[in-house]
């Protein structure tokens, strides 16, 4: 291990000191090269920081004895600039890679495991004691072999890979109001989600979302989300086991915009979009009774003004089959239902709470 520190001056107006250090911490190589202001009115650091695969687990016990079961291996390779100004104004700018491997995190309610959590790109943070915290990112966030369990919510989730690539801006006010803007692409593969209390399970193959979204969360619980983009999803399966009900969709394609406002008293949704579903099937989980089977559904210009007012310009079904008895041991996919249509097209559908459905 070597350490070099030059041009160190206690004068507040002096130039920053030059620091160079390299060596190993518990056999994990590290490197620090940069400038460091120690006695300045604006102390800080600017330079490169490298740390390769440090097992942080032994050090977590020093933070809290409750963390003795937690494990993770940390790596850093980044350019970092850190400044602490007057009135405790903190500014952090970084450009590089941060990663956590072999993650196993346990507390009273949460269990989280991951093969790897990594960030590559730019991250800027600004925080003062009197103003909002602002965080900007531009890069790629990836999680591999992610598993989460929450006991209070009886939630269990397993995911092969989660990948976000794009830009984000986050602002947290002194009153804990949160504003988030996202612009980029989200990819997700092999999701398995179970909510035991709600009797609801989701299995999903591949998800691809591209677009932008604005999220506002007030400290009184009010949530507002505005999103504009397109979604392509494959191999979706929804199940309610206690009701023996299953919905399967081979491909879901959605494009449009949506606005959601939720507070303690009401939920308001508005949207204008197009939707295409392929390979849709609703049936009993044991496969003995089929409710709906269709090769393809297309809905054009779905105009949702509110939950009480919905219009669809054109709704078409291809090879629609409705209903089959439950006496068969195994229900063939191509067996006709009680009601069958090779092609069904419905135009100018509207619904309102006052007038009901109108075709």
- pLDDT, one tens digit per residue, over 16-31 is 889 999 999 999 999 9
103 vs 306, more confident? 103
pLDDT band at 264 (very low <50, low <70, confident <90, very high): low
95 vs 294, more confident? 95
88: left (phi over 0), alpha (psi -120 to 50) or beta: left
CA dist., res. 251 & res. 279, Å (int): 7
- pLDDT, one tens digit per residue, over 207-262 is 999 999 999 998 888 899 999 999 999 999 999 998 889 999 999 999 999 999 98
Residue 328 has pLDDT above 90, yes or no: no
Burial class (CB in 10 A: 0-12, 13-18, 19+), 37: buried
CA dist., res. 56 & res. 164, Å (int): 26
pLDDT band at 327 (very low <50, low <70, confident <90, very high): low
- At 243, give phi and psi (nearest 5°): -95, 0
Strands 110-127 and 17-25, by their bridges, are unpaired
User: If DSSP states are collapsed to H, E and C, what string results for the chain?
Assistant: CEEEEECCCCCCCCCCEEEEEEEEECCEEEEEEEEEECCCCCCEEEEEEEEEEEECHHHHHHHCHHHCCCEEEEEEEEEEEEEECHHHCEEEEEEEEEEEEEEEEECCCEEEEEEEEEEEEEEEEEECCCCCEEEEEEEEEEEEEEEEEECCCCEEEEEEEEEEEEEEEEEECCCCCEEEEEEEEEEEEEEEEEECCCCEEEEEEEEEEEEEEEEEECCCCCEEEEEEEEEEEEEEEEEEHHHCEEEEEEEEEEEEEEEEEECCCCEEEEEEEEEEEEEEEEEECCCCCEEEEEEEEEEEEEEEEECCEEEEEEEEEEEEEECCCCCCCCCCCCCCCCEEEEEEEEEEEEEECCCEEEC
**Tell me, what's the pLDDT at 257?**
97
**Tell me, what's the pLDDT at 209?**
97
Q: Is the separation of the CB atoms in 268 and 289 below 8 Å? A: no
* Residue 9, both tokens: 């001056």
- pLDDT, one tens digit per residue, over 42-87 is 889 999 999 999 999 999 888 888 888 899 999 999 999 999 887 7
Closest CA to 250 of 232, 236, 231, 230: 236
- pLDDT, one tens digit per residue, over 143-160 is 999 999 988 778 899 999
Residue 201 has pLDDT above 90, yes or no: yes
Closest CA to 31 of 4, 47, 50: 50
Q: Is the separation of the CB atoms in 26 and 55 below 8 Å? A: yes
Residue 11 has pLDDT above 80, yes or no: no
Closest CA to 262 of 226, 299, 225: 225
């Amino acid at each position: 291990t070597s350490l070099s520190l030059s041009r160190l001056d206690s004068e507040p107006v002096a130039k920053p000191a030059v620091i160079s250090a390299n060596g190993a911490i518990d056999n994990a190589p590290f490197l620090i090269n940069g400038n460091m202001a120690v006695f300045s009115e604006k102390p800080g650091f600017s330079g490169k920081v490298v740390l390769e695969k440090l097992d942080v687990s032994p050090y977590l016990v020093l933070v809290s004895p409750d963390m003795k079961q937690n494990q993770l291996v940390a790596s850093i390779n980044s350019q970092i600039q850190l400044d602490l100004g007057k009135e405790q104004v903190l500014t952090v700018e970084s450009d590089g890679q941060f990663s956590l491997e072999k993650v196993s995190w346990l507390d009273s309610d949460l269990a989280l495991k991951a093969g790897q959590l990594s960030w590559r790109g730019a991250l800027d943070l600004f925080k003062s004691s009197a103003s909002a915290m602002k965080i900007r990112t531009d890069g790629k966030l990836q999680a591999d072999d992610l598993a989460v369990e929450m006991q209070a919510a009886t939630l269990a989730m397993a995911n092969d890979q989660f990948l976000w690539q794009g830009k984000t801006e986050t602002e947290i006010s002194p009153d804990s109001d949160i504003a988030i803007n996202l612009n980029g692409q989200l990819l997700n593969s092999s999701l398995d989600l179970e909510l035991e209390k709600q009797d609801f399970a989701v299995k999903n193959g591949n998800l691809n979302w591209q677009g932008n979204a604005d999220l506002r969360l007030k400290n009184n619980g009010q949530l507002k989300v505005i999103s504009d983009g397109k979604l392509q999803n494959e191999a979706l399966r929804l199940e309610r086991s206690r009701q023996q009900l299953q919905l399967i969709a081979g491909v879901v394609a959605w494009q449009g915009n949506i606005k959601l406002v939720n507070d303690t008293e009401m939920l308001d949704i508005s949207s204008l979009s197009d939707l295409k579903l392929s390979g849709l099937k609703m049936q009993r989980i044991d496969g003995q009774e089929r409710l709906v089977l269709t090769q393809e559904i297309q809905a054009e210009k779905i105009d949702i003004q509110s939950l009480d007012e919905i219009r669809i310009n054109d709704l078409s079904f291809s090879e629609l089959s409705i209903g089959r008895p439950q006496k068969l041991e195994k229900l063939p996919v191509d067996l006709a239902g009680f009601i069958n249509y090779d092609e069904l097209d419905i135009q100018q559908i509207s619904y309102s709470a006052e007038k009901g459905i109108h075709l």
